[in-house]
């Protein structure tokens, strides 16, 4: 059960209702709706991370899911395993991602991105060797996008866990 009530839809502006509708009224967005201005900016940045740029969507979703795992945010993990499937993450990869280091289903770029993700989340920044490994495989733009995706979903995972946002049916979660 969430630590505070979700925002009351009775007081929502048209724009807030629109944003919630676009995001299937998922609980995370209902909680963010307590601050409509922040909800809107959160959606803008999240949309850019997920729908713009050149980072391969499979790499992005693997990194986001791994971030959720490391941040112990099950809502995020469930949501992004589903989103990942929609962009090409395999069932085998979704199962193996918790112990990706010993799995053979990830290619070289994915493995470098997962190592980069692990170190950003656990060490606060990647080691020089890990940074060089991923930088050799991605363009500067894709590298920036990967780091921003991990950072955004660290924040999102912490938000989910701080407010103890309730899980929803997988098809409802965005």
What is the phi/psi pair of residue 75, to 5°? -55, -45
Closest CA to 59 of 153, 119, 127, 146: 146
Q: Return all residues near 151 (Cβ < 8 A) that are at least 6 apart.
A: 120
Higher pLDDT, 154 or 171: 154
Which sequence spans correspond to the domains of the chain? Answer: 12-51, 57-162
pLDDT in tens, 112-147: 999 999 999 999 999 999 999 999 999 999 999 999
Percent of the chain with pLDDT over 90: 94
29 touches 174 (CB < 8 A): yes
Architecture of domain 57-162: Up-down Bundle (1.20)
pLDDT tens profile 17-49 = 999 999 989 999 999 999 999 999 999 999 999
């Amino acid at each position: 059960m969430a630590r505070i009530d979700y925002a009351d839809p009775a007081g929502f502006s048209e724009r807030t209702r629109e944003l919630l509708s676009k995001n299937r009224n998922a609980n995370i967005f209902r909680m963010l709706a307590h601050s409509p201005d922040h909800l809107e900016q959160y959606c803008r940045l999240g949309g850019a991370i997920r729908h713009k740029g050149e980072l391969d969507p499979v790499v992005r979703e693997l990194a986001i899911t791994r971030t959720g795992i490391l941040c112990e945010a099950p809502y995020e993990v469930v949501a992004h395993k589903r989103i990942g499937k929609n962009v090409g993450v395999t069932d085998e990869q979704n199962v193996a991602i918790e112990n990706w280091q010993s799995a053979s289903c990830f290619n070289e770029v994915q493995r470098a991105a997962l190592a980069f993700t692990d170190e950003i989340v656990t060490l606060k920044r990647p080691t020089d060797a890990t940074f060089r490994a991923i930088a050799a495989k991605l363009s500067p733009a894709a590298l920036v996008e990967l780091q921003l995706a991990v950072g955004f979903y660290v924040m999102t995972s912490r938000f989910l866990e701080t407010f103890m946002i309730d899980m929803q049916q997988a098809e409802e979660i965005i």
